[in-house]
Structure 1
Amino acid sequence: MEITDFSLASFSLEGRTAIVTGGNSGLGQAFTLALAAAGANVFVPSVHDDGGETAELVAEAGAEHAGMLADLTAPGGPERVMAGAVDAFGRVDVLVNSAGINVVAPWRDFGRAEWDRMLAVNLTAAFELGRLAAQHMSDRGSGKIINIASLYSFLGGLGSPAYAATKHGIVGFTRAYADELGPCGVQVNAIAPGYFETALTAATRSEPETSRRILEHVPSGRWGERADLMGAVVFLASRASDYITGQVLTVDGGYLVR
């Protein structure tokens, strides 16, 4: 793309289709709605039924929505999701691996069962669906894979060694696939959210001392809002980021610099 070819249309996702795992709640829903607002049709697989809320919000944004109840850790789950998205929209241009869980327990109580469950959801499912998407995208010579990392991709994991391990692993997976898929015209990047206002952080935010300690570490001085992530995912999903791959875009209000 020449300098004279650049315009804000480079950020448009009109005519594109995105899969967003875990995309009907929390930060995943923000990714879904951001991509829809930029013009993409979205396919949302989830283990939870949201009663049609996300589909309604996507329609309000002027985009099309399809989805299915699917367990990405079950045999054949990733294949069902990929086939469902292609059946619904004919192609997949963007994959956002957003589904994830966190189990917190003291190290003496954190055993193999907790470890295996988190690796299956946070890392193995992302790899399996990412591999299928990469095959589909590389055959066409273009595509975007966006993995969701964390501040714990760079830090320790107090109370959750598996969460830290999976999020470190997501960064490694992102960089390895970026290296291999670059020649195929597929960019692979990650977003690492900081501390955000979600249902999962409600208990932490309700504890004044804990919340104060966190905010003292955030130069922006506040918890992130879901809208703060929306520009990042649109950028990485769009043509505007075609020469960016293997990167981790940290959206944390400056937490890591303090």
Structure 2
Amino acid sequence: MKHAFDLSGKVAAVSGSTRGIGRSIALGLAEAGADVALLQRSLSDTTLQEEIRQLGRKCEIIECDVENRQQVRNAVPETISRLGGLHIVVPCAGIQHRSPSVDFPEEDWDRVMQVNLKSVWLLCQQAGRHMVEQGYGKIITIGSVASFQGGFTVPAYAAAKGGIAQLTKALANEWAAHNVNVNALVPGYIDTDMNTALVSDPTRSVQISERIPAARWGTPDDFKGPAVFLASDAAAYVHGHLLAVDGGWLGR
């Protein structure tokens, strides 16, 4: 059974890989055997590239600011050109903006939707064209508990992550017959830069921890195993699924 989780010979592309969940997923895929394209804004941040290469894997940094639509469209062909193929795509880049809905700035709404939903759609579309033609592929989107719950003061984020859930299912419906698996990881409350304000709030942090059945916030490394599973042949018959990595939050 362990061979079903082996990603040797596979090429993965991961956005949002310079920190947080994206970084851990990219490293986890490499640890499982995959070569990795890091889709990132900064070409000078080579820390993760060096770490992956030390594992004996190929790793290339591809310039991809997810607010630049042309760079997003170029990411798939550039990955194929530089690493010789593409089998796994994880669009993990994301942003957050909090504001009461009555005052939520339109420009912040547009930016959140571009980064968290439209760039994901564009990257998935480019990957899907390649994967459908080759008859194999794994796409792992990143949802949120906000894919199921509205939250407070995060209308754009909730709308985008709700959209990710439905986009994941829609693409799975079309591409499953072509041996392309499209699924989502659904983070709960994770200790990352995006949640620094909540983690630092002594009252809210305790309230959140007490509501999580696992009695702790998640960490980026909690996503390594679930990502490898969805990227591997062990998940060959898993299509359109939203896999919660939330310490039991949604079941509470």
Post-superposition CA distance 1:117-153 (Å, at most 9, x none): 1111111111111011001001110100100000110
Aligned to 2:102: 108
**1:120/1:133 CA distance change after superposition, 3 Å:** same
Instruction: State the shift of 1:49 in Å.
Output: 4.8
Judge which range, 77-86 or 145-154, deviates more.
77-86
Residue segments in structure 2 that go unaligned for 5+ positions in a row: none
Separation of aligned partners in 2, 1:177 and 1:48: 30
**1:89/1:49 CA distance change after superposition, 3 Å:** closer
Aligned to 2:138: 144
Q: Does 1:74 align with 2:74?
A: no
Q: Does 1:194 align with 2:188?
A: yes
Q: Give SS of 1:73's match.
A: coil
Residue segments in structure 1 that go unaligned for 5+ positions in a row: 1-6
Partner residue of 1:207 out of 198, 201, 209:
201
Q: Give SS of 1:14's match.
A: coil
* One-letter amino acid matched to 2:238: I
Q: Give SS of 1:212's match.
A: helix
Q: Give SS of 1:115's match.
A: helix
Instruction: State the shift of 1:50 in Å.
Output: 6.0
Contact 1:24 1:50 in 2 (8 A): no
Instruction: State the shift of 1:73 in Å.
Output: 3.0
Identity %: 37
Separation of aligned partners in 2, 1:153 and 1:116: 18
Contact 1:145 1:189 in 2 (8 A): yes
Contact 1:190 1:248 in 2 (8 A): yes
Aligned residues: 252
Separation of aligned partners in 1, 2:138 and 2:237: 11
Aligned to 1:4: none
Separation of aligned partners in 1, 2:242 and 2:234: 16
Backbone CA RMSD of aligned residues: 1.2
Judge which range, 63-72 or 153-162, deviates more.
63-72
Q: TM-score, normalised by structure 2?
A: 0.97
Separation of aligned partners in 1, 2:203 and 2:98: 19
1:30-179 matches, cutoff 5 A? 30-49=24-43, 51-179=45-173
After the TM superposition, which segments of 4 or more aligned residues of structure 1 sit over 4 Å from their partners?
none
Q: Does 1:240 align with 2:201?
A: no
Q: Does 1:252 align with 2:227?
A: no
Contact 1:33 1:61 in 2 (8 A): no
Q: TM-score, normalised by structure 1?
A: 0.94
Separation of aligned partners in 2, 1:112 and 1:199: 24
Post-superposition CA distance 1:49-95 (Å, at most 9, x none): 56211112212333111012222332422222112101111111000
